[in-house]
Structure 1
Amino acid sequence: MLTAAIPAVVTLLAVLSPSPACATGSASTIAIAADSSTVCGVTYGPPSSVLCARPGDRASSFPIPPNISFSSISGGSASLCGLRSGGTAFFCWNASDSSATAFRPKRLYNGPYGLEELAVGAGQIASIDLGRTGVRWWRENRRFPSFANGSYSSLTSGQSFTCAVNTSNSVRCWGPLGDEIQEFFANSTVLRIYAGDNHACSIDTGGRVVCSNGQTPPSPNSAFEFRSLALGFNHTCAVRRTNGTVVCWDGVTGGEYAPVNMTAFELIVAGGNLTCGLTTANFSVLCWGVDRNNPAVARLPLPEILPGICISNQSSCRCGVFPNSENLCSGSEVICQRCDDLTQQSSPLSPPPPQFPPSSSSRTNRGWRAFAIIGSVGTFAGLCSIVYCIWVGICRRKKVHNSVQPTITASANGGPHTGHSSGTGGPSSSPFVSPSASRSRIFRRQGSRVMNRQRSGPSSFKDRAEEFSFEELAAATNNFSFETKIGGGSFGTVYKGKLADGREVAIKRSDTVPRTNKFQEKESAFQSELAFLSRLHHKHLVALVGYCEEKEERLLVYEYMKNGALYDHLHPKNGEESSVLNSWKMRIKVLLDAARGIEYLHSYAVPPIIHRDIKSSNILLDANWVARVSDFGLSLMGPESEGDHLSLRAAGTVGYMDPEYYGLQHLTVKSDVYGLGVVMLEVLTGRRAIFKDDDGNPTSVVAYAVPFVVAGEVGKVLDVRVGQPLQHEAEAVELVAYTAVHCVNLEGKERPSMTDIVANLESALALCEESHGTISSASISLASVD
């Protein structure tokens, strides 16, 4: 076992005393601020917050604010920066002070572009735009450009340079030392590049390590011996591909040493004279110095750290998903499994394969092997398809219908369309803008399509739902007694039940009607919901437990949502109001939860899934007040192309339905956006989607609220039960209101994507958290970290 004795700790602290060396950084879940030997890591969520510790300090680790989810962190000489999950913002902390309480967050960035791969150098902070359209810098002091256009990966920063790899596997560097570093790698084709203090090393497409200052591994540098590197002031460490062990070498003497014997690591980082790694065995953090004879290994008092960066685009995991990563990331995001061979794990820019000098016979053998592998995969896929078709066609003996098209008859005046004309001050055909210039661009319009493609991927699958007998479910609900009835859905009545094993569930029972068109609609709704919920899994979608099909009985069994529907809290029948939902922070959180669930349907399912009935009564709240989208009886597979639509008769709930859908019969994912926009206005105003005004005339919440929001008078329509928002809450509520106005635009193409909506709601919730003491307003600077 590796232990740190007191003499070893003393030695380590002496070795790691602040020096003129500057730490370097790349995006990771561990980072080092070299001047103070502070090591921080991203912990399991939710939220995936940042905790820090110092080698030799036997005290427990200390958290640093804000208490929100971070995807990655990066360290410099005296500072640390963390990229917020989703890439919408990043915060930095000054780690030069030895006091843990000195870590005050300073927000350097908050939209409008999504970011990834944050890399902190001595002073500069660099990041790649989400979608890989270019590199941006902060605190560059005119030594770096503010933006460099192009598609890059493997971003890393040293003392006075930043480097990245472009699509042709060439190294591009910026800064005072940039030209020198770039010139060294001019004739190399590179997979990854890593920065030290004043030098850089790469792993080229042949799998070999090459360093700008000659610090190549002293031992034979065989192809793909190492899978990652970490560079400090004047030393380099590498993780072996075969077993995850670490070897280091000194740039001065050239001596090689193994500081932690045979311990396997998931990743390592370096800064100054310190190197730290995350162990494979238990995700703990070990650190060591540069003394070959006494590296002074110390285990830091940090909790388990994420073994990799959580990403939303599962399809970019070329070598599979890290085991249990869905739970580690606490949501629909995953951690990519590291590849056994770097030729497979090359950057998303798809560099060419490694160049070896093969003989003609070896090329032929590889060709036959590739043919055999492809043939085997194709054969296996074909067999799976045959087995699936037999199971669906013979065992199920029925077709699963995803399309259900009940007819909604609009009223003579257009139903909810009333009040949307320009004469009433409602949305026009042009996109809404806020009355203030600060809100004139609240959506990342230019990058939304790129972002959607970046974040899209296959849906998450789960085990097939349980099949219950009708007798079991009747017993669970006391024979479907009136006392157990808790609501209704798109095709039946919902009852609260308790299964024989003690699980509390909600049971939706289809109305038993003769075999007519109505029955076929109910049957289609049942099959639709069963089909969708059997394959989708997300913490903001109501989970399906099981189902029952016996004769004409159709029942679906869900996990029980203890706190009921959002609608019932906004519009209580008995006059009792929810104290939990009578805060703006909580209401915005519920909206964000629901938006994340819908974003999952739109961006992660291929093709996207259109819910078709987004409304407050279909947003349920569990025991922890986490919101989940429910009722998929009307859901459909959407068109593959973003600009396409489905042409079919309107279905849904009056007041929440997309005007383009019920007017032109054009259904798109933006139809769900409209429904969520109505829910947002419902949450802000406390008014029903359709309600009677002071004169007793029916009106929509859209026609009621939108004119006030556009006029900059949001406060006049807010729910009086919640009270006027505080200073930072007011900005958050205003952002939600403007977002809602864009969502209910008459033209679907002018509405934001769900990704944009989630980003805005996250920003709004962060503002509310500031006003509740999570972040001191005095500690936040949008201009500079200095």
Structure 2
Amino acid sequence: ATRATNPFENRRFKYKELKVITHDFKNIIGKGGFGLVYFGKLQDGIPVAVKMRSESSKRGNAEFLAEARHLARVHHKNLVSLIGYCKNRKHLGLVYEFMDGGNLEHRLRGGDVSHGETPLTWLQRLKIALESAYGLEYLHRSCRPPLIHTDVKTQNILLTSNLEAKLSDFGLTRAFSSESKTHTSTRPAGTIGYLDPEYYTTSRLSEKSDVYSFGIVLLVLITGQSAIIDDDDGEKVNIANWVHERLSEGYLDRLIDLRIRGDCDHNSVRKVVDLALQCTQHVGRDRPTMTEVVEGLMESLQMVLCSMQSSSIETSDDSGVAADVQSVDVLEIEEAR
């Protein structure tokens, strides 16, 4: 992968600079395992997100600095860029590019209606899934040594205002040896609902652990549900089990998010459901690679675009469809891989 030119690459900030950038840490835009995230602007007006490690954080300095180390060496269109860092005896901070569209979880929960945010269409959801898959495929295939993200979830997929998707939060990312492609960890990893079930018995993470988590992301995109669902009996079940149960009853329609149910290509949805269920197989070796996931999502996207073009020809009203199709140039997305 070619290394992007970044004028701020590895820039070290003083703590007092971060105070100026963030207007004395005035505007909180997020909260993670390390601490709070603040909005800021560099001297030239470029908006940034500043993540500061809180003293009460359960994650140590080593993990915080691991995030900086990993991000300093990964460069991909669908991974959030690290602009710089701050490290002194009292403070640790990371400065990122600012993603003005918020995170995917927020958008799926309804977004900001006051700012005119509408529910994501199936086409938009597919594009977000594909771009996120590209970022994950890059970590697994193009990094040396390869990287396991270990905390793939809708909250860690950030969006621009144009709905370009980028993976974020690399604090728990692990390097794994190219021979075993696994990493043994006794520390907590991932998020309940998204975490590879194999991890509970083996304490081992692999690239297939990321594939499992990504499969859960796909199911959340399709259904609009959370990764853990309250079923009809009031018990909490994993979304993969919930989907299996609905499919066994022959209810594909009832799986689809109500907000897009009447306006999506059901063949395409079925293909992504099947792909997601392959990703969430209990045994890691039975899951596809992220390259295979990317290929499956590309095929599904092509199905949607063909269906939309056919529909526009039949109705001879292609104004809205043309705009949607134009917003997703498959060749352009493929070239960004």
- Shorter-chain TM range is 0.7 to 0.9
| Rounded Cα–Cα distance in structure 1 between residues aligned with 2:185 and 2:298 | 34
- Of 217, 225, 228, the residue aligned with 1:679 is 217
- Of 270, 288, 294, the residue aligned with 1:734 is 270
Map 1:328-727 → 2, pairs under 5 A: 332=1, 460=3, 464-481=9-26, 484-513=27-56, 521-572=59-110, 579=117, 581-641=119-179, 644-649=181-186, 650-709=188-247, 713-726=251-264
Deviation for aligned residue 1:723 = 2.4
Cross-structure match for 1:757: 293
Deviation for aligned residue 1:612 = 0.5
**SS of aligned partner of 2:16:** helix
The 1:665–1:477 alpha-carbon spacing in structure 2 relative to 1, beyond 3 Å, is: same
Deviation for aligned residue 1:623 = 2.6
Code of the aligned partner of 1:474: K
| Rounded Cα–Cα distance in structure 2 between residues aligned with 1:776 and 1:583 | 17
The 1:614–1:550 alpha-carbon spacing in structure 2 relative to 1, beyond 3 Å, is: same
| Rounded Cα–Cα distance in structure 2 between residues aligned with 1:711 and 1:668 | 33
Q: Which consecutive unaligned segments of at least 5 residues does structure 2 have?
A: 315-337
User: Does structure 1 retain, via aligned residues, the 8 Å contact 2:86–2:94?
Assistant: yes
Q: Which consecutive unaligned segments of at least 5 residues does structure 1 have?
A: 1-331, 335-459, 779-786
String of CA shifts for 1:653-698, please: whole Å, max 9, x gaps: 1111000112221211000001101111011111111232344332
User: Does structure 1 retain, via aligned residues, the 8 Å contact 2:253–2:261?
Assistant: no
Tell me the percent identity: 36
Deviation for aligned residue 1:769 = 1.3
String of CA shifts for 1:477-523, please: whole Å, max 9, x gaps: 22112xx111123312111111222110111111124xxxx66x331
**Two-structure CA RMSD over aligned residues (Å):** 2.4
TM-score, scaled relative to structure 1: 0.38
Code of the aligned partner of 1:708: R
**SS of aligned partner of 1:738:** helix
The 1:775–1:535 alpha-carbon spacing in structure 2 relative to 1, beyond 3 Å, is: farther
Cross-structure match for 1:439: none
| Rounded Cα–Cα distance in structure 2 between residues aligned with 1:493 and 1:644 | 33
User: Does structure 2 retain, via aligned residues, the 8 Å contact 1:571–1:688?
Assistant: no
| Rounded Cα–Cα distance in structure 2 between residues aligned with 1:580 and 1:774 | 25
String of CA shifts for 1:123-150, please: whole Å, max 9, x gaps: xxxxxxxxxxxxxxxxxxxxxxxxxxxx
| Rounded Cα–Cα distance in structure 2 between residues aligned with 1:655 and 1:576 | 30
TM-score, scaled relative to structure 2: 0.85
| Rounded Cα–Cα distance in structure 2 between residues aligned with 1:671 and 1:552 | 35
User: Does structure 2 retain, via aligned residues, the 8 Å contact 1:691–1:701?
Assistant: yes
Deviation for aligned residue 1:577 = 9.9
| Rounded Cα–Cα distance in structure 2 between residues aligned with 1:523 and 1:462 | 28
User: Does structure 1 retain, via aligned residues, the 8 Å contact 2:110–2:118?
Assistant: no
User: Does structure 2 retain, via aligned residues, the 8 Å contact 1:602–1:669?
Assistant: yes
| Rounded Cα–Cα distance in structure 2 between residues aligned with 1:730 and 1:578 | 27
User: Does structure 1 retain, via aligned residues, the 8 Å contact 2:108–2:120?
Assistant: no
Instruction: Tell me which of the two structures has the higher relative contact order, counting C-alpha pairs closer than 8 angstroms and 6 or more residues apart.
Output: 2
Higher strand share: 1
String of CA shifts for 1:272-308, please: whole Å, max 9, x gaps: xxxxxxxxxxxxxxxxxxxxxxxxxxxxxxxxxxxxx
| Rounded Cα–Cα distance in structure 1 between residues aligned with 2:245 and 2:115 | 28
Code of the aligned partner of 1:740: A
Deviation for aligned residue 1:764 = 0.8
Give the number of the structure whose alpha-carbon radius of gyration is greater: 1
Higher helix share: 2
Deviation for aligned residue 1:524 = 1.6
User: Does structure 1 retain, via aligned residues, the 8 Å contact 2:151–2:210?
Assistant: yes
String of CA shifts for 1:447-476, please: whole Å, max 9, x gaps: xxxxxxxxxxxxx47664211111121122
Cross-structure match for 2:332: none
